[in-house]
Amino acid sequence: MTTQTLNTISLALNDGTETTLAGLAEKAVLLVNVASQCGFTAQYDALEALHEKYRGRGLTVVGVPCNQFGGQEPGSAEEIVEFCRKNFGVTFPLAAKAEVNGDSAHPIYAALTGSGAEPIKWNFEKFLITHDGVVQDRFASAVTPDSPELVAAVESALQ
């Protein structure tokens, strides 16, 4: 898949509206497959802080709820939004629940993990995607949103 295709793939938000990665951010998107009942769920705090700190410079964090790993995101769209806002003050966009691996993977994730790339290993894997659809970096679940390497990559993407 070309980078232009990646950047223009339709993404349903949890409120039912359709958009694209290009439509969500001025300069870059941090795309994260999220889950409400995961050991990494506390990363929502740092994801929100990153979104708040850098959104004025063109970054948008996008959470993609996924129930593929241990059934850790069983809720409805409304339950997920309520959980995220009540417990973590999340203001960044949340997509509709989607699969990230396998034959039913969302087309964005199929593109991100196609052509020999490793499949998503767990919740809270992060892809930093520039406005022109280029994957600048990929971060494992254990890499927190406030880690020096992730923050440095965001800074670089926003230059």
Catalytic residues: 38
Let me know: does 9 contact 111? Beta carbons within 8 Å.
Answer: yes
Tell me the two tokens of residue 107: 């087309």
Q: Which string of DSSP letters, residue by residue, matches 77-132?
A: HHHHHHHHHHHH---S-BBPP-B-SSTTB-HHHHHHH-TTPPPP-STT-EEEEETT
Phi, psi of 82 (to 5 degrees): -60, -45
CA distance 118 to 43: 22
